[in-house]
Each structure stands twice: as structure tokens, then as C-alpha cells.
Amino acid sequence: MFGIITIFLGKIMKIVVYGLGIIGASLAAALKASGHTVLGKNRSKATVEIALSRRMIDGETESYEGADVVFLALPPKPTMRELDEGQFPAGTVVCDICGVKKVIEEVVFSAPRAYRYVGAHPMAGKETSGIASSDAALFRGKNLVLTVNEKTDPAALDTVERLARDAGFGRIVRTSAEEHDRKIALTSQLAHIVSNAYIRSPGAKGIAGFTGGSFQDMTRVGGVDEGLWKDLYFANRDNLVAEIDGLAARLEEYSKALKEGDEEALCACLRAGRLAYGAYFSEK
């Protein structure tokens, strides 16, 4: 079905996905299922073999020769290195799908490039990682953020958006790298830090039988890969620190009201949160 749709709406593309973890492998599988030719590139040959055995890719590649589009599904530092040093054919659309954008744009636009760059961030994932957790349906109906500035090639941007639709994304938002990083500090990075800090409570020992949905929701993303997420946090340090400090100040309001036995103040805090919660869901 997807392949037929792709044929009628636009040409079949040759796509290279570099990095076959949960995000890269899921994207490769989704694009292959939609009818495109997808080649995989990965440091671990064992991962490539899994992708081939599960028919997530059409083959392996060591180069970008002949590619219409390249997706880089790598951590921040390898992404920046590849964007700076990778041998991309002239005119190729190169799209990174890393979780931070400003530092990556700074690398891309620090020198003339023969390739056409587009930044993207899929707002989808799982609490697990690796190709074993990948799924061709991972992005179905999910949000995608595309970053744009005055140097972005409009045709390249449209190409990435069309491929995103082929992969199953629902809402696609275009914004600046700066705005992306400010919002992601709250919607993704702070959420992971809070979950990680929450489960560190000494009270978390011996709580089997005392947990329900609230606990599961709060701890779902607590088991982060510190090597990867450390780099993401430092790449967006100023925005993330502002969100952490803001949350700490708001939590102090609740703590102060409880310490002082001030029911009115506590109700005011809870009311403000309830109204903010309602406002968020009304704008969705």
C-alpha cells in the first residue's frame, strides 16, 4: 500500500541511513516499506546483519555515492564530525535526526558545503534502545520537528518532509534551531532528568506492590544511557539549566506551603498547575 502511494506521489529515492539504532533502523524500515531503496551504514556489522535479516534495509553501504538523501541517526559528536568530514556527493540532501540542533547548525554552516542540509528531530522513541527495539511503525502519527534558517534549501526541506510523510509522521513542525532547543529542553530533556532523579529517592527501595500508573509514568524514561544523554544535555546546557532552575523554584513553592501549613498557598500552586495542564490540552 505504502509503496504504491510513494510511486504515485513522487519518485522512488535511494536513501542511506547511517546509524541503525532504534531511531535509524525504524526510519530505514519505514522508508523501505514505503517503496524507497534504503541502504544501511553502521559501525557494528552485527547490527547491519540484523537489519538485513529483518529486511529493514535493501543492502549495506560504506559510501554515500548515488544517494538522493542521507539520514544521520547518530549521537551529537559523531553527527557533527560526519557533517564536517563526510564525503557527500554534491547536491545530496543530508538530514541529521539528532536531539539538539543549534550546535549542529553551527558546524554545518561554518564552511561552504556541497550537500544540502536539513535538521530533523523525531518526537518518538521508547525507553529501550538498539535495533532490537526498532519498529517500522514507530513514527506512525508522531510529531516531527524540522529546523529551518535562511540558508535552508527549500527543495531539500520539501524532500525531507515528503519522506517523513512516507515514514508515517503525523504533525510536522518547521522552526528555528534556537526555538527547537529551547522547547526540547522542557519537553524532552527535563522530563528525562526529572525521571532519572525521581527514581533515585531512597524511598524507592522496597516499594514493590505500592506502585501504580503514576509511578510508572514518572519512571518510564529514568533509565537513560548516560553516555548519549550527557552529550545531549551539554549541547543544550543553557536552555536545560534554565528549565531545571525554574522547576526547582516551583517545587520550592509547594514545599514552603507544606512546611508552613499554608493550605491556601498550596491550593494556589495546585490550581496554577491544573490550569496550565488544561491550557496545554486545549491547544493540542
DSSP string over 141-183 = T-EEEEE--TT--HHHHHHHHHHHHHHT---EEEE-HHHHHHH
pLDDT > 70 fraction of the chain, expressed in percent and rounded: 96
Considering its fold, how many domains does the chain have in total?
2
11 and 151 inside one domain: yes
Q: Is the pLDDT at 2 greater than 50, yes or no?
A: no
Answer whether residue 144 shows pLDDT above 80: yes
Q: Mean pLDDT throughout 22-31?
A: 96
Q: Which of 175, 191, 215 finishes a domain?
A: 175
Residue 126 has pLDDT above 80, yes or no: no
Could you tell me the residue range of the domain that residue 77 belongs to?
Answer: 2-175
The per-residue pLDDT for range 164-191, each reduced to its tens digit, is 999 999 999 999 999 999 999 999 999 9
Instruction: Identify whether residues 122 and 187 lie together within a single domain.
Output: no
pTM of the model: 0.90
Q: Is the pLDDT confidence value at 81 over 90? A: yes
Residues 125 and 200 in one domain: no
**Domain check: are 207 and 114 in the same one?**
no
